[in-house]
Amino acid sequence: MPLIAGVPVEFFLFAATLAGVAVFHHHTLHVALIGLAVITGYKLAFSSFGGVAGVAGLTQLLRHEWVTLANLFCLLLGFALLARHFEDSQLPAVLPRFLPDDWKGGFMMLALVFVISSFLDNFAAAMIGGAMAKVLFKGRLHIGFLAAIVAASNAGGAGSVVGDTTTTMMWIAGVKPAQVFEAYVAAVPALLFFGYFAARQQHAFQPITRDAAPGAMVEWPRLAIVAVILAAAIGANVYCNLRAPALLDRWSVIGLAVWVAITATSVLRRPDWSVRPAATRGSVFLLSLVLCAAMMPVAHLPAASWPSALGLDFLSAVFDNIPLTALALHQGGYDWGFLAYAVGFGGSMIWFGSSAGVALASNFPEARSAGAWLRGG
């Protein structure tokens, strides 16, 4: 394996790809695809895939990763349609009747995203939060508030075994739900901290709508569709883990359940397919980075300790947290609740650091500037 200063060349290529995404934020998909092509070509020519060289190694990697990739693609596209159903249900337009008229309204919205993410995957919670915020703040969202929506969704899912892919992995591996639940010891103070500043920041940029739109009424059939899709996702997640965890290795059950629900409910209201191009681009972008990360020759992590957990917090902002969690589970010795918080919440630092950020950025292109995200968030 060729090295530069003791570091495999793949890491430098991956770092260059991430830097390109951060700098050329108007061409993120092209940069990610070019980076994936360069890393793949390099490994075919000079390195190996988990010790297996050439096309055989690449085939083995894809055979191992295809379930994760297919599940992410189905869920990102499916939840984009769900978010549009939620927006068209007019419930966000009615919410001003129940939320405070000052910065506390924005804070309560972030708290609601936090709660939703505790029983639903974090990028679905982020999409729903974005749909609410778009209406509540008349489409004028401070990039710091967008970052806070992602942070709330990631923090809310950190303490629940059905709230994040990484916590679900821990559950499958035998970690008890109570061990993961302690992540809220960190996640709740985090929400109180960033939620206060983000809500004040958004209120100064664009106050919340004071009154519901005249004549706004909830369209209950669309809200029922949202409930059915969410129930399908939650039910499939729980079933796979309680009854047949091996099913996750054979088929993308959760993504399939979401699309069965979308298809079945289309007789009530037709999905808005206009969201498909943007959602597809965001999905391909995320899958490119996930596949790049899967090609990195990471065989082990440092010894389990609080500095290691803190380091994984920052690493998860640029590195897929799924393989990091898999390595940590194999190694053992971590406090699982705080590791869940570190690898989950840490992805909020950069817009492409988590699937929630990528999903939200598909609807709010201004969020794709890493510099603006860091300054605002």
pLDDT at 77: 87
Q: What is the pLDDT of residue 23?
A: 84
Tokens at residue 266, please?
Answer: 């289309």
How far is 47 from 53, CA to CA, in rounded Å? 7
- pLDDT of 243 above 70: no
Tokens of 200: 């004040």
Question: Can you say whether the dihedral through the CA atoms of 355, 359, 362, 363 is positive or negative?
Answer: negative
Q: Between these two residues, 250 and 152, which has the higher pLDDT value? A: 152
Highest-scoring range by mean pLDDT, 2-6, 12-16, 62-66 = 12-16
Confidence of residue 113 (pLDDT cuts 50, 70, 90): very high
CA distances from 115 to 103, 155, 186, 309 (A): 19, 10, 15, 24
- Record the tokens describing residue 243, joined without a space: 């009854």
Phi, psi of 301 (to 5 degrees): -110, 165
pLDDT at 177: 86
Alpha-carbon gap, residue 211 to 97, rounded angstroms: 6
Residue 363's pLDDT band (boundaries 50, 70, 90)? confident
Write down the pLDDT at residue 206. Answer: 94
Do 189 and 345 touch, CB atoms closer than 8 A? no
pLDDT attached to residue 72: 76
Both tokens of 62, joined, read 């894809």
Question: Which region holds residue 86: left if phi is over 0, alpha if psi is between -120 and 50, else beta?
Answer: alpha
> What pTM was estimated for this model as a whole?
0.82
For the residues of 326-375, what is the DSSP string, one character each?
HHHHHH--S-HHHHHHHHHHGGGGSGGGSHHHHHHHTT-GGGG-HHHHHH
What residues does 8 pair with on adjacent strands?
A: 3
* Paired tokens of 277: 């191009």
> Is residue 110 pLDDT above 70, yes or no?
yes
pLDDT digits (tens, 9 = 90+) for 332-346: 889 999 899 999 899
pLDDT digits (tens, 9 = 90+) for 249-300: 444 677 788 899 999 999 989 998 888 888 888 889 888 888 888 888 876 6
| Averaged pLDDT for residues 21-30 | 86
Report the SS3 class of residue 260. Answer: helix
Task: Please give the full DSSP string across 22-34, using - where no structure is assigned.
Answer: HH-TTSHHHHHHH
Domain positions in the chain are: 68-283+303-376
pLDDT at 31: 93
Whether the CB-CB separation of 366 and 143 falls below 8 Å is answered with yes
Burial 235-254 (b: 16+ CB within 10 A, else e): ebbbebbeeeeebbeeebbb
Residue with token string 């989950």: 344
> What is the distance between the alpha carbons of residues 8 and 345, in angstroms, rounded to a whole number?
28
Task: Specify the pLDDT at position 251.
Answer: 45
Which spans in the chain are helix H? 9-23, 28-46, 54-88, 91-94, 103-117, 122-136, 143-158, 165-172, 177-181, 184-205, 220-242, 247-250, 253-265, 276-294, 306-315, 321-331, 336-345, 355-361, 370-376
Q: What are the Cα distances from residue 25, in Å, to 144, 224, 281, 367?
A: 17, 37, 14, 9
